[in-house]
Amino acid sequence: SQQGEEDPQALSIQEGENATMNCSYKTSINNLQWYRQNSGRGLVHLILIRSNEREKHSGRLRVTLDTSKKSSSLLITASRAADTASYFCAEKAGGTSYGKLTFGQGTILTVHP
């Protein structure tokens, strides 16, 4: 299966600004997950949104899901320098392919102090 796409590939903002990252996916999903990765380290789960949900919040994170457009977005509000990292969306397939997790190529976020 093909990987989804993330947009933009890189984002550079100032501390305090909001950061929005978009993800498009290709399959029928069970859920969509967002992860963060600091410079070559393991990924850390941020938030999961199920196919029957449209929006979800967790602290400064807001995720939306539009299954008709096969797209999701991650909004980080009031960004901090510590938010600098790569962010990945991952689509969890449904049906008989449950178990397959397909990651996008990621967005590199740089937050300048």
DSSP 8-class letter at 26: -
Q: Pick from 29, 33, 74, 79 the residue near another protein by CB under 8 A.
A: 33
79 binds another protein (CB under 8 A): no
**Region near another protein per CB under 8 A, out of 20-28, 66-74, 77-85, 88-96:** 88-96
Number of C-beta neighbours around residue 43 at 10 A = 18
Closest approach of another protein to the CB of residue 42, in Å: 4
**Among 59, 95, 99, 113, contact with another protein (rule: CB under 8 A):** 99
Secondary structure of 51-97 in the HEC alphabet? Answer: CCCCEEEECCEEEEEECCCCEEEEEECCCCHHHCEEEEEEEEECHHH
Single out the residue of 23, 106, 109, 111 in contact with another protein (rule: CB under 8 A).
106
Element (DSSP H or E) covering residue 112: strand 107-112
Under the binding rule (CB under 8 A), the answer on residue 22 touching another protein is no
- Of 59 and 99, the one with the shorter C-beta distance to another protein is 99
Q: Does 100 bind another protein (CB under 8 A)?
A: yes
Pairing mode, strands 107-112 and 85-93 = antiparallel
In degrees to the nearest 10, what's the CA dihedral of 66, 48, 77, 11? -80
Binding site for another protein (CB under 8 A): 1, 3, 31, 33, 35, 40-45, 48, 50, 88, 90, 92, 99-106
